[in-house]
Amino acid sequence: MTNNNFPLIMGIINVTPDSFSDGGLHLQADSAINHALLLASQGADILDIGGESTRPGAISISVKEELIRVIPVIQGIRDAGCELPISIDTIKPVVARKAIEAGATIINDISGLALGTELALIAAEYDASLIIMHSKGTPQTMQINPYYHDIVQEIASFLLEKAHIAKECGVKDIILDIGIGFGKTVDHNWQLLSSLSTFATLGYPLMLGISRKSFIGKSLLIDTPADRDITTALLHAMLLSTKMHILRVHNVKLMDQLRVLYSLLEQNKNKKRENYNE
């Protein structure tokens, strides 16, 4: 049971040894494929495959290593008959191209085209969707005293500029992501979430990635990332009044339960309106 007004649920599959939440759990291709299929069965609308950790302080890996991690997983998901859209979470053009050729349909660029237009050109060439995220610096530097004069305005301007560049490159489907946790303090993240309505007026679909992130842990004193799933879902529920297109999460089952509850409430609201109008 779903509701068309509820955002799409993107399930995270980290094929890494060092991601902040589940690094190492699905480093082997078979494990990652099985996890992806499990998320699909639990209600995921999109699967996001990442082979390089982007947590603060993470070390970059080679193109070869990233390809070894992600391509067999994408191929395995497709070989298993799963037809859900697959997003490749990468900043490397070679990885993006090979992932699309293996069956991915979305490029999730956490650099926000900061490294050039090549990812946008690849998305246009293959008619793939492009997610443009705001980040400040690299994973190695982004949490070293990030500063903004007006964070909402600066990020809105950045995203609009990059979306314009992507359109000029020929990308037809562009999604924006404000980049919670990427070069932002705890206070910055809360400022952005309280201003989501501003970003919803930019004219592009929004993706939100808050799942298990450290600002939730620091705000509620929850040290273990996996223990932040319930509070992640609660926060999503509080933010549903703002139109969002995609929610990127680790715990798809919990988010799908939220979707069912939301659908039931909306159905009964509609019944009340119909009864009132009769």
Q: Report the alpha-carbon distance of residue 134 to residue 207 in Å, rounded.
A: 11
Q: Report the alpha-carbon distance of residue 218 to residue 212 in Å, rounded.
A: 11
Q: Where are the alpha helices (DSSP H) in the chain?
A: 29-41, 63-79, 93-102, 118-126, 151-169, 186-193, 196-200, 214-220, 229-239, 252-277
Tell which residue, 8, 9, 38, 6, has the closest CA to residue 22: 38
Q: Is 248 a catalytic residue?
A: yes
Q: Report the alpha-carbon distance of residue 274 to residue 276 in Å, rounded.
A: 5
Q: Report the alpha-carbon distance of residue 62 to residue 31 in Å, rounded.
A: 22
Q: Active site residue: 136, 184, 212, 213, which one? A: 213
**Cα→Cα distances 264→27, 163, 232, 244, 278, Å:** 38, 35, 21, 19, 21
Q: What is the DSSP letter of 149?
A: S
Q: Is 213 a catalytic residue?
A: yes
Q: Report the alpha-carbon distance of residue 151 to residue 157 in Å, rounded.
A: 10
Tell which residue, 104, 156, 155, has the closest CA to residue 130: 104
Sign of the Cα torsion 99, 103, 105, 108 reads: negative
On whether the CB atoms of residues 11 and 36 are closer than 8 A, the answer is yes
Q: Active site residue: 97, 136, 162, 248, which one? A: 248
Catalytic site residues? 213, 248
